[in-house]
Amino acid sequence: MNKKELADHLHNSKYNCAQAVLLAFADEIGEDKEVLFRISEGFGFGAGCGEGICGALSGAIMLAGLKNSDGNLEAPGTKASTYKIAKEMKEKFVMKTGGLICKDLKGLDGGKVLCSCPDCIGYAVEVVEEVLGL
């Protein structure tokens, strides 16, 4: 099963969009799956209300930090480079989906649906693979 298929399977198993993307790459980043599941739980549906950044992209950006951060609590040295990676991920995601905010992507304000949740998840996985090489 490739990462898109795994993320789709997780989403169909009641994981939210952020959880589906993040947990699809759990083995590659070597982090505890339950912790990843719990930490990303509030980021589905645009951080719980549809008005925030797409959960699938949130999961992808979490992976950027997990992959790039030096984890140095005393003298963090990777914040700027992680921000740069997150910006690149955001830009690629918007090019693929046409939007960034969950309610806009889903057309919740009576507008046109730009991208379904399954497609957003697939595009977020693509962005992770392209930018992070996972």
pLDDT tens column, 66-123:
999 999 999 999 999 999 999 999 999 999 999 999 999 999 887 899 999 999 999 9
pLDDT cut 90: percent of the chain above it? 93
pLDDT at residue 110, as a whole number: 78
pLDDT at residue 66, as a whole number: 97
Q: Note the helical H segments in the chain.
A: 3-12, 17-24, 26-29, 33-40, 44-48, 55-68, 79-97, 102-106, 117-132
The residue type at 18: A
Average pLDDT on 5-14 reads 98
Query: pTM to 2 decimals?
Result: 0.95
Average pLDDT on 43-69 reads 94
- Residue 11's pLDDT band (boundaries 50, 70, 90)? very high
pLDDT at residue 34, as a whole number: 98
Q: Quick: pLDDT tens for 117-131.
A: 999 999 999 999 999
Average pLDDT on 39-48 reads 93
Q: Is residue 54's pLDDT more than 90? A: yes
The DSSP 8-state label assigned to residue 42 in this structure reads G
**Alpha carbon separation from 130 to 30, 64, 76, 109 (Å, rounded):** 19, 12, 25, 31
